[in-house]
Structure 1
Amino acid sequence: MRMHDDQLTVTPETVGALIAEQFPQWRHLPVTELRSQGTVNAIFRIGDGLTARLPLQPGDVASIRRWLRSEAAAGRELASATRFPTPEPVAVGEPGAGYPMPWSVQTWVPGVIATDDDPGDSVAFARDLARFILDVRSIDTGGRTFTGGGRGGALRPHDDWVQTCFDRSEQLLDVPRLRRLWERLRELPRGDTPDVMNHGDLIPGNVLVSGGRLAGVLDVGGLGPADPALDLVGAWHLLEAGPREVLRAELGCDDATWARGKAWAFQQAIGAGWYYVASNPAMSRMGCRTLARILADKSR
């Protein structure tokens, strides 16, 4: 099912034609479409070592090209900082072969997405995730600060969106209870805590697992400065209560930062639950499970 009204149709044949036109050194490699929970790109594997990522929605070509170059820079920055595999940029392609947008090629990272190999009860995985978050935080912001768009700044500016989500979730979730919780979460103060670098989207579809351990992390384009609590969304999207406390201890989270991490997970999950209920059921289930974990949590 299509996730977007204006969604582009991308086939292996299209990707093969783009490769033949623009990167003929790879034209002999097989192109395989990958099942993905992603909502932004169609993903294709090229041979054994590469992946192509093609935006699913049309947009301004110059803006998309700038984003892909920014994503490539983020990929290089993250790959040099973490002990865990992440996709590294290889090339940026141009419109062609009937496809109207720029697109990118990255290295392939092996592993199984956490939706298909659930690491929620793994203490070892929780420790790995904490190490990844610490690796990301170790990257120097270089004076960069949060830009003001999306998650990672203040919570209250997201109130209109959350209220819309409540209205759309009446048949799916315990909305009265969630409304009461959000009234508390939205008021959590940020204080003067400085921004640190965050991955920005630690959801199961972006996390690779092998043998109950963290095998790699995908979708690195959101790397940037934000509230130190932002990457704590992974505690709620990925972990059950026991391992979640292990992650908290490994990170040395104070109560205020931990509470804001819960709030950012809430903000992300409340949108995923209803919005993708038909078009991307795995994302919808993730949102609902995360909210259930938050409601069940007794910590402060």
Structure 2
Amino acid sequence: MTTGQLHRGPDEDLVRSLIAGQFPRWAGLPVARFPSGGTVNAVYRLGEGMVVRLPLTKAGAKDAALEQEWLPRLAPRLPTAIPEVLGAGAPAEGYPWPWSVHRWPAGENPEAGALREPVRLAGDLAGFVAQMRSITLPGAPAAYRGGPLVALDQSTRAAIRQLRGIPQEDVDCDAAAEVWKQALRAPGQDSPPVWLHADLMPGNLLIDRGRLSAVIDFGCLGTGDPACDLFPAWNLLPADAREAFREALGVDDPTWNRGRARTLSQALISLPYYRERNPAMAENARHVIRAVLGDG
């Protein structure tokens, strides 16, 4: 194993060895790889009620340490279930980074276009985001992607140029470039930082009977631009639920426009990168681009 990246991730035998060596009380439980569209962690079921998350990269290892520190402090302050850290694993058996055992959360990932009660889900999401914003815990890290919009300019423009060379994706690159340009020029770029999840993708949300049951994967958490947690408006919710989400949060025009541009930027960057690597993430990027460009 290297210390830079585990391309295929740890196998089940390694996970069993890590568990036996550091958490012997769970050594006899079955271990099974869980199919996940995520790109940061390998995920394994441990018995019936737990999940083992092992970073695939050195950067992901920093996320694991961040979650171990902050999830226990955030959980009692939030209205929705979040991962409960049951064990903080250390490097061993040739595996080079910190890893975690969490309680297995109930629910399934939502799918854009197939929501059972989108307006009620929008209210649930707004409640979670509002409560995150209200947190006042000191010593917060800076959220990943939580800085000024202009910090994304170079990578966003590069992604648009790259997509112009992939005609089969049928992205209106001129329209995308115009949305991005207008967002950079808009006033109100300096909102006070707030606590953020900062990665509210469908794969990081769980629903049960149409309602939000849990929010997972807090590796990007921290404080930053409140527009960063508006992503579900375009990556998941249909138009009527999008408006319900905005109304419930009381989002002003500058923040809403930054959120729209940030969500578009992430999709534009993701699509050329994941189109042949991760079909689920590529398809959600296409959905976001359609939603944003049709939301003008």
Would you call these one fold, judging by a TM-score over 0.5?
yes
Q: How does 1:162-177 map to 2 (within 5 A)?
A: 162-170=156-164, 171=166, 172=169, 173-177=171-175
Structure 1 residue identity aligned to 2:31? V
- Structure 2 unaligned regions, length at least 5: none
**Against the structure 1 CA distance between its residues 158 and 287, is the aligned structure 2 distance closer, same or farther, given a 3 Å change threshold?**
same
- Residue 86 (structure 2) aligns with: 90
User: Mapping of 1:220-235 within 5 angstroms?
Assistant: 220-235=218-233
Aligned length: 289
Greater shift in the superposed pair: 278-287 or 184-193: 184-193
Partner of 1:112: 108
1:152 corresponding residue in structure 2: 146
Mapped partners of 2:114, 2:236: distance in 1: 8
- In 1, are the aligned partners of 2:179 and 2:261 still within 8 Å (CA)? no
Structure 1 residue 143: deviation in Å?
Answer: 6.6
Residue identity (%): 37
Shift of 1:248: 0.7
Query: Runs of 5+ in structure 1 lacking a partner?
Result: none
Is it true that 1:35 corresponds to 2:35 in the alignment? yes
**Retained in 1: the 8 A contact 2:9–2:42?**
no
Task: State TM-score, norm by structure 2.
Answer: 0.90
How far apart are 1:78 and its partner, in Å?
2.3
Give, as a single letter, the amino acid of the residue that structure 2 aligns with 1:249.
Answer: E
1: CA distance between counterparts of 2:72 and 2:244? Answer: 30
Report matched runs for 1:66-105 at 5 Å: 67-105=63-101
User: Secondary structure at the residue paired with 1:32?
Assistant: strand
Greater shift, 159-168 or 273-282, is seen at 159-168
Q: CA deviation at 1:9?
A: 2.9
Q: CA RMSD in A?
A: 2.3
Structure 1 residues 273, 34: closer, same or farther in 2, change over 3 A?
A: same
| TM-score (norm. length: structure 1) | 0.89
**In 1: Cα distance, 2:217 partner to 2:192 partner:** 24
Shift of 1:192: 4.3
**Distance in 2 of aligned mates of 1:100 and 1:264:** 33
8 Å CA contact retained: 2:144, 2:220 = no
Cα distance in 2 for residues equivalent to 1:251 and 1:286: 24
Matched with 2:200 is 202
User: 1:178 maps to what in 2?
Assistant: 176
| 1:134-145 paired onto structure 2 within 5 Å | 134-142=130-138, 144=140
Aligned partner of 2:271 in structure 1 is: 273
1:197–1:225: 8 Å Cα contact kept in structure 2?
yes
